[in-house]
């Protein structure tokens, strides 16, 4: 029986570095143990974007950078039997599978065996499904069914296990719980039972550490002088070596930048964790309270102590809703008295929105004085009046319709001629938004399927 497998992660979100999989695949190819490449490209925002893209074009709605990510590594993965598991299917997994087959043709290689995991899309069934609130939503929040664009359940890893058991070279999914991209291969290779909670917990922890790519190998980490990261332009994406007993080592390809240290691993262990004793995934509930890290050698860290509890009887479902329009307009002021001119601009913008009776929710940032820490009312900016000499005023507005948003941002452009002295660099943009709300649906009401191409 195989004792260790290697799982590398080549992408941690949609928009990640598209050359990252190359070093990971080269490192996996040099190993003798079974190896898998996972590409995690789906967030709450990304799935909403994908649903919008599919509404505009029925052949779209999967990871837009998929071809760019896979082209340099697809042939090597197939040659070295590195099987690929990815949620790149987003709102259109069949479309992603189709693209992969076309890519194989383009590269002149044999058609890979692609399996598509379906069942996460609950859009049609949502009105009749029994639903209960998710704990993170404000109390009393309800789902306006007339505004629903899509609803997707976070499936467990069983569909991925089935696909790998069936011999898939590549498994494409829509929404599955991110750690399942690693847990699926582990259950497939080691034959862990679906109720072997401590083993599943180790697999979920490994998947959790991998799923954000560089975030465990020196990305989202550097703080110059305190936490330095070598070669941040060439960060090696992570590889987890996992044994049949559930022990985990996190490392990265040789010859790459970045770093794997106790600190990088600790930060990622608690990333997006709420109650550390109960990280709920569809496959098991992970208890992190006894988890410890230990450096073994340079860029190799062992992670131990994951414990599992039985899975709950519901799936978390992300519901995407028509969200109106976001508009942003910006203009800059610099030099003597710049902050005062920027503040005058902001005050004038507020008066203009009011004078024109534009029904928008709005906020104004003074970038260079106070922005991302502030609230929509600007209370920090009001308390920190100073003499900043390079300030960018940013108006952000939200309204149900595009025209109202455009009227509001037009007021920023008008500041070029009608605003304070020396305003320059005005820009604006408008995007249609999808909002999301989460709820729980009983597992018994949802089923997954594996479709073979």
Partner 1 sequence: MSCPRQSTAQPIAAVPLHRLAHARSGDKGERINIAVFAYRPEFTPYIEAALTEASVQALFEHRGAFRVTRYHLPKLDAFNFVIDGVLEGGVNGSLNLDGHGKSQSFRLLSALAHVPYDFALAHGLLDDKTA
Gyration radius of the chain over CA positions: 24
Contact segment (CB under 8 A) with partner 1 among 76-84, 104-112, 125-133, 218-226 equals: 218-226
CB 185 within 8 A of CB 210: no
- Binding of partner 1 by 437 (CB under 8 A): yes
Indicate the residue among 27 and 396 with the shorter CB distance to partner 1: 396
CA 434/CA 51 separation, integer angstroms: 9
Min CB(269)–partner 1 separation in Å: 7
Q: What is the DSSP string of 203-241?
A: HHHHHHHHTTGGGGTTTTT-BTTTB--S-GGGBPPPEEE
Indicate the residue among 268 and 404 with the shorter CB distance to partner 1: 268
Contact letters for partner 1, residues 144-183 (x by CB under 8 A): ----------------------------------------
Helix (H, G, I), strand (E, B) or coil at 352: helix
H helices within 108-196, ranges in order? Answer: 158-165, 180-190
Indicate the residue among 49 and 339 with the shorter CB distance to partner 1: 49
Contact segment (CB under 8 A) with partner 1 among 39-47, 76-84, 240-248, 441-449 equals: 39-47
H helices within 85-176, ranges in order? Answer: 93-107, 158-165
Contact segment (CB under 8 A) with partner 1 among 99-107, 184-192, 284-292, 422-430 equals: 284-292
CB 227 within 8 A of CB 263: yes
Min CB(371)–partner 1 separation in Å: 6
- Binding of partner 1 by 227 (CB under 8 A): yes
Min CB(289)–partner 1 separation in Å: 6
Indicate the residue among 67 and 277 with the shorter CB distance to partner 1: 277
Min CB(336)–partner 1 separation in Å: 26
CA 333/CA 418 separation, integer angstroms: 14
CB 289 within 8 A of CB 279: no
Length of the chain: 453
- Binding of partner 1 by 342 (CB under 8 A): no
Indicate the residue among 112 and 327 with the shorter CB distance to partner 1: 327
Alpha carbons within 13 angstroms on the beta-carbon side of residue 412 total 29
Indicate the residue among 154 and 192 with the shorter CB distance to partner 1: 154
CB 248 within 8 A of CB 242: yes
- Binding of partner 1 by 136 (CB under 8 A): yes
Closest CA to 44 of 9, 14, 86: 14
Pick one of 138, 313, 386, 417: the residue that binds partner 1 (CB under 8 A): 138
- Binding of partner 1 by 436 (CB under 8 A): yes
- Binding of partner 1 by 374 (CB under 8 A): yes
CB atoms near residue 337 (< 10 Å)? 14
Min CB(126)–partner 1 separation in Å: 18
- Binding of partner 1 by 45 (CB under 8 A): yes
CB atoms near residue 121 (< 10 Å)? 18
- Binding of partner 1 by 375 (CB under 8 A): yes
CA 193/CA 421 separation, integer angstroms: 70
Closest CA to 298 of 230, 222, 219: 230
Please tell me the count of residues contacting partner 1 according to CB under 8 A. 61
Min CB(136)–partner 1 separation in Å: 5
Residues 251-280 that bind partner 1 (CB under 8 A): 263, 266-277
Indicate the residue among 42 and 104 with the shorter CB distance to partner 1: 42
The DSSP output letter for 13 is S
Min CB(169)–partner 1 separation in Å: 33
CB atoms near residue 384 (< 10 Å)? 13
CA 102/CA 430 separation, integer angstroms: 34
Pick one of 9, 11, 25, 48: the residue that binds partner 1 (CB under 8 A): 48
Indicate the residue among 226 and 417 with the shorter CB distance to partner 1: 226
- Work out whether strand 449-452 and strand 279-280 pair parallel, antiparallel, or are unpaired: unpaired
Indicate the residue among 369 and 434 with the shorter CB distance to partner 1: 434
Residue numbers of the site for partner 1 (CB under 8 A)? 43-45, 48, 134, 136-138, 220-221, 223-227, 263, 266-277, 288-293, 305, 323, 326, 361-363, 365, 367, 371-377, 379-380, 394, 396-398, 433-438
């Amino acid at each position: 029986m195989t004792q260790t497998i290697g799982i590398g992660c080549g992408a941690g979100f949609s928009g990640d570095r598209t050359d990252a999989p190359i070093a990971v695949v080269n490192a996996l190819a040099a190993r003798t143990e079974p190896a898998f490449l996972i590409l995690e490209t789906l967030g709450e925002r990304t799935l909403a974007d994908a649903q919008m893209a599919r509404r505009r074009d029925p052949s779209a709605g999967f990871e837009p950078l998929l071809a760019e990510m896979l082209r340099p590594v697809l042939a090597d993965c197939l040659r070295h039997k590195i099987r690929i598991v990815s949620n790149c299917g987003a709102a259109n997994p069949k479309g992603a599978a189709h693209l992969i087959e076309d890519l194989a043709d383009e590269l002149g290689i044999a058609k890979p065996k692609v399996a598509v995991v379906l069942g996460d899309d609950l859009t049609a069934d949502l009105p009749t499904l029994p639903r209960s609130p998710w704990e993170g939503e404000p109390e009393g929040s309800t789902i306006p069914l007339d505004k629903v664009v899509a609803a997707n359940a976070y499936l467990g890893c069983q569909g991925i296990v089935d696909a790998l058991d069936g011999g898939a070279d590549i498994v494409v999914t829509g929404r599955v719980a991110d750690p399942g991209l690693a847990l699926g291969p582990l259950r497939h290779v080691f034959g862990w039972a679906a109720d072997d909670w401590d083993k599943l917990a180790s697999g979920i922890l490994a998947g959790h550490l991998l799923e954000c790519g560089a975030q465990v190998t020196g990305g989202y980490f550097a703080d110059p002088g305190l936490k330095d990261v070598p070669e941040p332009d060439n960060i090696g994406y992570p590889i987890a070596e996992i044994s049949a007993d559930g022990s985990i080592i996190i490392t990265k390809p040789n010859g790459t930048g970045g770093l794997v240290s106790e600190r990088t691993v600790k930060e990622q262990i608690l990333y997006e964790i709420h109650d550390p004793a109960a990280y709920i995934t569809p496959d098991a509930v992970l208890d992190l309270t006894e988890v410890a890290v230990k450096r073994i050698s340079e860029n190799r860290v062992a992670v131990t102590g994951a414990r599992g509890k039985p899975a709950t009887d519901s799936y978390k479902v992300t519901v995407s809703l028509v969200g109106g329009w976001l508009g942003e307009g910006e203009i800059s002021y610099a030099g003597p008295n710049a902050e005062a001119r920027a503040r005058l601009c902001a005050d004038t913008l507020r008066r203009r929105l009011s004078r024109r009776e534009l029904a928008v929710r709005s906020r104004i940032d003074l970038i260079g004085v106070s922005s991302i820490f502030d609230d929509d009312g600007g209370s920090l900016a009001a308390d920190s009046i100073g003499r900043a000499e390079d300030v960018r005023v940013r108006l952000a507005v939200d309204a149900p319709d595009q025209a109202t948003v455009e009227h509001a941002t037009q007021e920023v452009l008008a500041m070029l001629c009608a605003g304070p002295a020396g305003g320059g660099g005005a820009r604006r943009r408008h995007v249609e938004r999808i909002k999301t709300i989460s709820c729980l649906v009983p597992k018994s009401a949802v089923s997954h399927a594996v479709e073979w191409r």
